């Protein structure tokens, strides 16, 4: 089966603000990333702020062009942002935002906003649109009374459900969720995650689930890709990542996820400065914080190698690391 979305060696470089007398600086937000997501599958992209995970989401949706490499949606290249084909394609691929209040027009009712993609893409007759709004609102768990309200009259969880309903109204095949639950209360997070799972079961939508929080994706991801300063450092099926992380960075992330009944004694605490994409360390970008770095890590960038269990790791020391863990 061919994937819904596929990225091949994608990079995205931002030109920083140069002044009249200052040279422009370049920030490589995403570098040489390859991934693919199939129908009904959820890929979680994990990383700290500045890891390029949100930029990757934008590039996958064609909201920001890739500086190098290509993105293929259903085996076809993406049209340039703003073009007619690009606009028409929006019905099939959707984005869920971190802050639902900002993503909703404060002046329109929830029903009007959920209807909007149907209006834009002229899907169905007016009656069918109204019917679809009711249907999708029920699917995401909104009550009929919510439909006539405005965004500020809803709770945070209800707003996010409205955003999800709007995204699902046109029956997209790809959903990119950029930190969809980090603005919500912890008690609401699980409910919204369950909503995503139910929607995926019902519609078979492919999902890219971007988060800084590994424990959030535990119950939804089929596969997990960990990003550090623009590069994927490890990618593997979710259960494999959680059971046996290999990259030192992933190890640190996984060890920080609390497991009920288990003390956090052997937690790996990351040292050093948090990553800054404008000042990327040479060699393996993670080496200044890596507990096991050797001389080679300072000079050469490790390739993302595939090995067993559908796993890819980018570390010079994977064999050694593995040995140490065993």
Partner 1 sequence: MTDMTAPPAAITQPSRLSRAIAALRRLPLAVELASAWLLAMFVIAALAHVLAPYEISEIDLMSRLVPPGSPGHWLGTDELGRDVLSRLLVSIRSSLLIAALATILSATIGTVLGFLAAQRRGVFEHAILMFVDFQAALPFIIMALAVSAFVGASVPVLVGLMAFYGWERYARLARGLALSAMGKGYAGAVMQLGASPMRVFMRHILPNVSATLVVTMTLSFSEVILAESGLSFLGLGVQLPDSSLGNMIGFGRDYLTTAPWIMLAPAAVITLTSLSVSILGDWLRDRLDPSVS
Partner 2 sequence: MMSFALTRLLRAFATLMLVITFAFSILRLSGDPAIAVLGPMAPAAALNAFREAWGLTEPFWVQYSKYVLSIFAGDFGDSMRDGLPALPLVLERVPATLSLTIPSLILTLTIGIPAGIVAALHRNSLLDRTVILAAVAGFTVPSFVVGLVLVLIFSVTLGVLPSGGQGSWLHGVLPIITMSTVSIGLVARYSRSAMLEVLNAPYIRAASAKGLKWRDVIRLHALPNAILPLLTIIGLMVGSLIAGSVVVESIFSWPGMGRLLIISVAARDLAVVQCILILITVLMVCANLTVDLLQAWLDPKSRNKAHA
Query: Can you tell me which of 117, 141, 245, 248 binds partner 1, judged by CB under 8 A?
Result: 117
**Which C-beta is closer to partner 2: that of 17 or that of 84?**
17
Residue 166 in contact with partner 1, rule: CB under 8 A: yes
Backbone φ, ψ for residue 211 (5° rounding): -155, 155
Return the structure tokens found at 158: 């209800």
Q: Which is nearer to partner 2, 23 or 263 (by Cβ)?
A: 23
Binding of partner 2 at residue 84 (CB under 8 A)?
no
CA-nearest of 144, 178, 133, 134 to 160 is 178
**Is residue 61 helix, strand or coil?**
helix
Which of partner 2, partner 1, none binds 17 (CB below 5-8 Å, type-dependent)? partner 2
Does 24 bind partner 2 (CB under 8 A)? Our answer is: no
> Which of 15, 20, 145, 308 lies at the binding interface for partner 2 (CB under 8 A)?
20
Residue 56 parent element (H or E): helix 53-61
Task: Verify binding: residue 23, partner 2, rule CB under 8 A.
Answer: no
Of 26, 33, 25, whose CA–CA distance to 52 is shortest?
33
Binding-site partner at residue 60 among partner 2, partner 1, none, CB < 5 to 8 Å by type = none
Does the protein bind partner 1 through residue 90 (CB under 8 A)?
yes
Decide if residue 22 touches partner 2 (CB under 8 A). yes
CB of 16 to partner 2, least distance (A): 12
CB of 262 to partner 2, least distance (A): 42
Select from partner 1, partner 2, none the partner in contact with residue 106, using the beta carbon and a kind-dependent cut-off of 5 to 8 Å: partner 1
DSSP string, 146-186: GGGS-GGGS-HHHHHHHHHHHHHHT--SEEEEESTTTTS-H
Please identify, using beta-carbon distances, which residue of 21 and 82 lies nearer to partner 2: 21
CA quadruple 220, 225, 228, 231: dihedral positive or negative?
Answer: negative
Contact call for residues 319 and 302 (beta carbons, < 8 A): no
The pair of three-digit structure tokens given for residue 26, joined into one six-digit string: 């370049």
Distance CA 42, CA 292 (A): 32
Using CB under 8 A as the binding rule, whether residue 183 contacts partner 1 is answered as: no
From 4, 7, 9, 21, residue interacting with partner 2 (rule: CB under 8 A): 21
Separation of alpha carbons 176 and 169, rounded Å: 15
Interaction of residue 59 with partner 1, rule CB under 8 A: no
CA nearest 118: which of 101, 109, 131, 102? 131
Question: Is 17 near partner 2 (CB under 8 A)?
Answer: yes
Structure tokens at 312: 């890819």
Q: Which residues of 260-271 are buried (b: 16+ CB within 10 A; e: fewer)?
A: eeeeeeeebeee
**What does the binding site for partner 1 look like in residue numbers (CB under 8 A)?**
61, 63, 82, 86-91, 94-95, 97, 99, 102-107, 116-117, 120-121, 163, 166
**What does the binding site for partner 2 look like in residue numbers (CB under 8 A)?**
17, 19-22
């Amino acid at each position: 089966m061919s994937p819904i979305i596929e990225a091949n060696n994608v990079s995205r470089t931002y030109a920083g603000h140069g002044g009249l007398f200052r040279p422009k600086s370049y920030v490589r937000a995403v570098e040489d990333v390859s991934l693919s997501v199939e129908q009904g599958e959820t890929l979680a992209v994990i990383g700290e702020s500045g890891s390029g995970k949100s930029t990757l989401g934008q590039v996958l949706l064609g909201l920001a062009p890739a500086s190098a490499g290509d993105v293929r949606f259903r085996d076809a290249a993406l049209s340039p942002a703003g073009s007619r084909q690009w606009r028409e394609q929006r019905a099939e691929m959707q984005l869920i935002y971190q802050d639902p209040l900002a993503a909703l027009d404060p002046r329109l009712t929830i029903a009007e906003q959920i209807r909007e993609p149907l209006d834009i893409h002229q899907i169905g007759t007016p009656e069918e649109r109204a019917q679809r709004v009711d249907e999708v609102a029920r699917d995401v768990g909104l009550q009929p009374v919510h439909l006539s309200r405005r965004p500020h009259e809803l709770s945070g969880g209800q707003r996010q459900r409205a955003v999800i309903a709007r995204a699902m109204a046109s029956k997209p095949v790809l959903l990119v969720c950029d930190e969809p639950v980090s603005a919500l209360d912890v008690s609401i997070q699980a409910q919204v995650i369950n909503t995503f799972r139910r929607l995926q079961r019902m519609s078979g939508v492919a999902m890219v689930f971007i988060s800084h929080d590994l424990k959030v994706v535990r119950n939804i991801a089929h596969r997990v890709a960990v990003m550090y300063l623009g590069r994927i450092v490890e990618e593997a099926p979710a259960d494999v990542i959680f059971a046996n992380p290999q990259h030192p960075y992933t190890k640190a992330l996984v060890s920080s996820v609390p497991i009920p009944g288990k003390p956090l004694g052997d937690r790996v605490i990351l040292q050093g400065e948090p990553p800054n994409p404008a000042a990327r360390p040479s060699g393996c970008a993670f080496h200044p914080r890596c507990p096991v770095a050797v001389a080679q890590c300072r000079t050469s960038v490790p390739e993302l190698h595939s090995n067993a269990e559908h796993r890819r790791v980018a570390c010079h020391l994977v064999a050694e690391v593995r040995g140490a863990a065993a």
